[in-house]
Amino acid sequence: MPTGTLEVIVVEGRHLKDRDLVGENDTYVEIYLDKKYKQRITTISNSNNTVWNQCFTFNLQKGDDTIHFDIYDADVIGRDSIGN
CATH code of the domain covering residue 42: 2.60.40.150
- 21: three-class secondary structure by DSSP: coil
Query: What is the pTM for the complete model shown?
Result: 0.87
At 2-50, the pLDDT tens digits run 788 999 999 999 999 888 777 899 999 999 998 989 999 999 999 999 9
Q: Quick check: 64 pLDDT over 80?
A: no
**Residue 40: exposure state from Cβ atoms within 10 A (0-12, 13-18, ≥19):** middle
Cα within 13 Å of Cα(76), Cβ side? 2
Q: Is the pLDDT of residue 1 over 80?
A: no
Backbone torsions φ then ψ of 54, nearest 5 degrees: -115, 145
Q: Which domain holds residue 38?
A: 4-83
Domain count, the chain: 1
